[in-house]
Structure 1
Amino acid sequence: MLDRRLFLANASLGLAGFATGCADPAVPVAISPKAPPTPLPDFYGEIEYRTFRYFRDTVNPVNGLVPDRWPTPSFASIAAVGSALTVWPIAVARGWIKRDLARDLTLATLRFFDTAPQGDAASGTSGHRGFFYHFLDMKTGLRYKQTELSSVDTSLLHLGMLFAAGWWTGDTPEEQEIRRLGIDIVERAEWLWFQNGRPIVSMGWHPESGFIERGWDGYNEGMMTVLLSLGSGRHPVNDGAWEAWCAPYPRCWRGEGETRHLAFAPLFGHQYSHMWIDFRGIRDTVMRGAGFDYFENSRRATYANRAYCIANPMHWDGYSADLWGLTACDGPGNFKLPFKGSTREFHSYSARGPLGQPDERDDGTIAPTAALGSLPFAPEIVIATARAFMAVPGLYREYGFVDSFNPSFRYTDQKLQTGSMNAQTGWVARDYLGIDQGPIIIQAANYRDEFVWKVMRNSPVIRRGLERAGFNGGWLAAS
């Protein structure tokens, strides 16, 4: 499960020329932050509602924990819990759940993390020094096996908590408690400890072996982690963390002219931070020099991902202008098999993205969350793709889209590790993944009416982090 975070260090740059050459020339002008979005069609609302039901039907109401995946029996993902804390208010606003129930689920979640045992023991705890383990037992809430104390997954959890603290503004004792706990739990994180004497924040820590050597630098989903570490009111990292984060940027640029962007192959790296932070119109030093913001960067990355699938250099089946989207997701399993005259590798859960970009991998597996998580960036291509996904046999089910599909994997003589296979249409995943369900519904809410962004713009933690990182302009300039 850590594969999606082993980026940049071993990334191949050999196909950089291809990545530049395949960029879609018809990238439209960016949408103005003040321009009203085009209303979503009715079918998209059905996708959102089904996706919400994943969280509603799988949450443990006692502690608010959400499974990493379903229907395969699973541990809880703290990242998925961060999404759930954000989804409950969205569901209230859409009329999918009663406010009292959403409040109670939120409060149960925060009360659990408030009292969850912390310490440096290898078992019997949920976290250490204000951070939490990547995976927790769904019932006990304790560390699952030897999973890492995760800085980025704790960030996703914390962003959900900050949103809850900002959205639940009522005067009732329950909503006051949500605000108090949401902020207090976030502020307990000892970010300076996680910096471990270096400019960058480590990816994780194990009680058995200490800090993971790799840290958050370069362009990827770790942007939110660095910003939260800078914005902490109690235990912030030292100055220079953002400059250390940006230091590897020169090797991340791809494209030319209007397609030039900071590249990271899996699209989740262009989406996760944007689910809670509105990057439209605000720029750090690098983006002031580039002449565009990180929102625009994600829009260009979305088009580049689609353009790569249209070019389809690996000649996979099914890739097209309406069936595209490479990110971290489930796959049919680990195989080396013949395909169209050569031997190809297929993978189980793995980060995927265009060849020639950092963290490249392409085994023919497409994930709906890759495209739908980019809805605010490029609605003109995402909406059509969402409709096309609904027509893929076996992909659209009870809780929206299962995690992924691979039209090229039609090997009836192979034993699958997960999912199902059809000799004509290929492999389809069995499970829904909580971390991939979240972007679908949260990004749709941001596209509709800035639902999450407008709350998070008022977060002192987010504002401090952005300002310490050197961002200015846009909504940051407003009082």
Structure 2
Amino acid sequence: MSMQHRTQRTSEVPTFSPATVSGRRKKSRISRLCQAGFALGALAGTFGIAQAGPTVSTALTPALQPASLPAADAAFVDDLEKRTFNWFWETGNPKNGLVPDRAPLPNGAASIASVGFGLTAYGIGVERHYITRQQAVDRTLTTLRFLASLPQNDHVSGAAGYKGFFYHFLDPNTGLRVADWSELSSVDTALLMGGVLFSQSYFDHDTPQEKEIRDVADKLYRRIDWTWMKAHGPWLSMGWMPPHTFLPSDWKGYNEGLIIYLQALGSPTHPLPAETWKAWTATYENQWGDFQGHKLLNFAPMFGHQYSESWIDFRGVQDAWDRAHNVDYFQNGREAAYAQRAYAQANPGDWKDYGPNIWGLTACDGPGDAQQVYDGKKRHYLAYSARGAGRDYILDDGTIAPTAVGGSIAFAPEIALPALKEMRARYGDRIYNKYGFLDAFNPSFADQKSYWVDGQQLGIDQGPILLMLENWRSGLVWNTMKKNAYLRTGLERAGFEGGWMRTKTATSKSVGQSL
């Protein structure tokens, strides 16, 4: 499963200089547990399991609309979105466009997934008048030119990628693979391409710079050899290590891999066979079922419901698997948010503050590998881990991640917005700084200031907050991506029908010319 990639970003992220790299990321065994099919009981002894209640019918349409917000709520949403945008704009390297994995972290690595979210952020910044269109053009073009100029080869060092894919973590100055622990990542390349394809479709003016954006974006996408990454059968590998070793895990089971397969199916140069999608969805069945009274395709951490959906509007759009189960991926994300909230209300682990407006489990930073007594019980706490609650597994040490809620606001604003407001009001500036919410906090873990709060923000957690806020408010990212012919081709080859796909959307200029 996909946790292998998320859990490499521990709170003990090594720092580096251009000349030396020290330390290695700890790797969680969560992904192996998932692929081995461990039941909920595998983690029950330490973290507790909520009992499933009767199935609850969740309305298909979010009840809260941005236009109906009271002035104070609208001001809060404005403030959160602008602060979160500023994280990408101000922490990104203006000389080459690379965005850090996390900040603040002196000498920290850049993350290609952060770059993908950042490229998308710049269009949002234009529409919200945070920056000018010319500023966004300049930063986007700088980023795309730099990515296209970086060496691609199978050498252990001295390259940024291979076969069109990029290494997960890059030196923020040179753009080269940061160290030998960084894998060539299929999912992080796909998240990067989410931003690349957004840029291709958003910058549609007939100017030399915007035409170059479209052309360079086209080059970056078309050169990815998706067929090469299919190492172990019909599924894509999670990644590769030079000089010739594919990671043992493939993209199976429902998770954020949706966007990888759709991009691979939409490729005009190295497309996967159309039947790949059926092979992918055939691995879903063990995840389908009831959790906390909600029937859904389970994936315990919320990020698995948010990454693909940040760029793709799945409302009313269904593949064959969806049609057979009377669901779509948007509604599934909505059910997942409600199920997580219900889990927090049930609070089987008796963690502090959990309730209807304090909830949200996903992969995030944590207090560290430690034990403390809380509420009369000896508790084990974790560092960066793929926390989550679902039918597939539960991993919960009392750590709340605001991105789990903020990245769900387009799915279920009527429960997400009150939760964000409550976190802001209850914990104040300890968890909310000039860039919005810090990555995570744990009211049950005592430290010098009474409870633990992270000191950093992560690009892969800031991104869903920003993109899904804007999708809820205006649909900007979704509507822009509907114009991208590569994405539409991927959806069509995967068998998606309905919703906005009933209408032929005008494609962005370079894409239409390239197909």
Shorter-chain TM band: over 0.9
The residue aligned with 1:301 is 336
**Counterpart amino acid of 2:77?**
Y
| CA positional deviation for 1:292 | 1.9
**Counterpart amino acid of 2:120?**
T
The residue aligned with 1:27 is 58
| CA positional deviation for 1:30 | 2.6
The residue aligned with 1:13 is 39
Q: 2:281 aligns with which of 246, 271, 277?
A: 246
| CA positional deviation for 1:398 | 1.1
| CA positional deviation for 1:133 | 0.5
Cα distance in 2 between the residues matched to 1:160 and 1:408:
37
Cα distance in 2 between the residues matched to 1:103 and 1:360:
43
Cα distance in 2 between the residues matched to 1:245 and 1:459:
23
**Counterpart amino acid of 2:295?**
R
Structure-2 change in CA distance of 1:227 and 1:137 (3 Å): same
Structure-2 change in CA distance of 1:368 and 1:7 (3 Å): farther
Aligned residues: 466
Cα distance in 1 between the residues matched to 2:60 and 2:306:
19
| CA positional deviation for 1:19 | 5.4
| CA positional deviation for 1:366 | 0.3
| 3-state SS of 1:344 partner | strand
Cα distance in 2 between the residues matched to 1:459 and 1:324:
35
The residue aligned with 2:17 is none
Cα distance in 1 between the residues matched to 2:338 and 2:292:
14
Structure-2 change in CA distance of 1:383 and 1:458 (3 Å): same
- The answer to whether the aligner puts 1:109 opposite 2:143 as a matched pair is yes
Question: Does structure 1 conserve the Cα–Cα contact (< 8 Å) formed by 2:116 and 2:192?
Answer: yes
How far does the alpha carbon of each residue in 1:217-251 deviate from its partner, in whole angstroms, 9 at most, with x for none? 11111111111111111001123221221122111
Q: Which runs of 5+ in 2 are unaligned?
A: 1-6, 9-27, 505-515
- The answer to whether the aligner puts 1:76 opposite 2:103 as a matched pair is no
| 3-state SS of 2:444 partner | coil
Cα distance in 2 between the residues matched to 1:151 and 1:195:
10
Q: 1:319 aligns with which of 336, 345, 354?
A: 354
Q: 1:401 aligns with which of 424, 437, 440?
A: 437
Question: Does structure 2 conserve the Cα–Cα contact (< 8 Å) formed by 1:266 and 1:327?
Answer: yes
| CA positional deviation for 1:211 | 0.5
Structure-2 change in CA distance of 1:11 and 1:319 (3 Å): farther
| 3-state SS of 1:472 partner | coil
Q: 1:466 aligns with which of 461, 484, 491?
A: 491
Question: Does structure 1 conserve the Cα–Cα contact (< 8 Å) formed by 2:62 and 2:413?
Answer: no
Question: Does structure 2 conserve the Cα–Cα contact (< 8 Å) formed by 1:11 and 1:357?
Answer: no
How far does the alpha carbon of each residue in 1:363-416 deviate from its partner, in whole angstroms, 9 at most, with x for none? 110000000100110000111111112121400111101100000001x4xxxx
| CA positional deviation for 1:5 | 5.3
Give runs of aligned pairs for residues 56-67 of structure 1, distance below 5 A: 56-67=89-100
- The answer to whether the aligner puts 1:231 opposite 2:266 as a matched pair is yes
The residue aligned with 1:417 is none
Cα distance in 1 between the residues matched to 2:243 and 2:395:
31
Cα distance in 2 between the residues matched to 1:228 and 1:5:
23
Question: Does structure 2 conserve the Cα–Cα contact (< 8 Å) formed by 1:326 and 1:367?
Answer: yes
How far does the alpha carbon of each residue in 1:394-441 deviate from its partner, in whole angstroms, 9 at most, with x for none? 00111101100000001x4xxxxxxxx422xx1000101111111111
The residue aligned with 2:237 is 202
Structure-2 change in CA distance of 1:249 and 1:307 (3 Å): same
Q: 2:134 aligns with which of 100, 116, 119?
A: 100
Q: Which runs of 5+ in 1 are unaligned?
A: 413-420
Structure-2 change in CA distance of 1:49 and 1:159 (3 Å): same
Cα distance in 1 between the residues matched to 2:103 and 2:95:
18
| CA positional deviation for 1:353 | 0.6
- The answer to whether the aligner puts 1:432 opposite 2:449 as a matched pair is no
Q: TM-score, normalised by structure 1?
A: 0.93
How far does the alpha carbon of each residue in 1:279-334 deviate from its partner, in whole angstroms, 9 at most, with x for none? 01111111101112110000000000111111110111121111110001000111
RMSD of equivalent CA atoms: 2.2
- The answer to whether the aligner puts 1:184 opposite 2:219 as a matched pair is yes
**Counterpart amino acid of 2:196?**
M
Question: Does structure 2 conserve the Cα–Cα contact (< 8 Å) formed by 1:325 and 1:370?
Answer: yes
The residue aligned with 1:328 is 363
| 3-state SS of 1:337 partner | strand
Question: Does structure 1 conserve the Cα–Cα contact (< 8 Å) formed by 2:117 and 2:463?
Answer: yes
The residue aligned with 2:410 is 376
Cα distance in 2 between the residues matched to 1:239 and 1:29:
30
How far does the alpha carbon of each residue in 1:41-66 deviate from its partner, in whole angstroms, 9 at most, with x for none? 11111011111111111110111000
The residue aligned with 1:339 is 374
Cα distance in 2 between the residues matched to 1:123 and 1:407:
43
**Counterpart amino acid of 1:287?**
D
| CA positional deviation for 1:113 | 0.8
| CA positional deviation for 1:465 | 1.1
Give runs of aligned pairs for residues 346-425 of structure 1, distance below 5 A: 346-354=381-389, 356-391=390-425, 392-393=427-428, 394-410=430-446, 412=447, 421-423=448-450
| CA positional deviation for 1:339 | 3.3
Cα distance in 2 between the residues matched to 1:277 and 1:7:
29
The residue aligned with 2:161 is 127
Question: Does structure 1 conserve the Cα–Cα contact (< 8 Å) formed by 2:154 and 2:243?
Answer: no
Cα distance in 1 between the residues matched to 2:321 and 2:114:
31
